[in-house]
Amino acid sequence: MHNKTIEKLENEIKQIKKQIQAMGDMRPGSLTQQTFKRGDYTRPYWQISYTLNKKSKTEYVREESVKVLQREIAEYQNFKKLTAEWVELAIKLSKEKIKMKNESNST
C-alpha cells in the first residue's frame, strides 16, 4: 500500500528527526550589543531578549558568555527551520495517504 511519494516523504521526515535528535543546547532570542552612556563615560554591554510563555524577557550577558549564546541561538534557529520543514512534509504525507486511501476505496 506504499507508493514512492509516501516512502520519499517518510524518509525525509526520518532525516529531519535524526538531525533534531543530534542537536545540542539551544535557546531562543536575539543577542545585541548596547551602549551605556553617562556623561562622557560610555561602555558597551550585551543583552539577550526573548519571549517565553507569551512573556518578553531581557537579560544582561557577560562578555565571556556571548560566543556560547550565539551558538545556542543559531541552534534554536536551525531547530525552528527543521520543525517547519517537518510540519510541511507531514501535511504532504497526510494528503498523499488520504489520496491513496480514496483511490483504493474507489476501485
- Alpha carbon separation from 82 to 3, 21, 39 (Å, rounded): 24, 11, 47
Q: What pLDDT does residue 105 have?
A: 78
Average pLDDT over residues 18-43: 96
Average pLDDT over residues 74-84: 98
Q: Please answer whether residues 89 and 16 qualify as being in contact, where contact means their C-beta atoms are separated by less than 8 angstroms.
A: yes
DSSP structural state of residue 40:
T
Instruction: Give residue 67's identity as a one-letter amino acid code.
Output: K
pTM for this one?
0.84
- Alpha carbon separation from 92 to 41, 51, 53, 101 (Å, rounded): 58, 30, 30, 14
36 or 1, which is more confident? 36
Q: What rounded mean pLDDT belongs to the chain?
A: 94
* Residue 95: closest CA among 85, 107, 103: 103
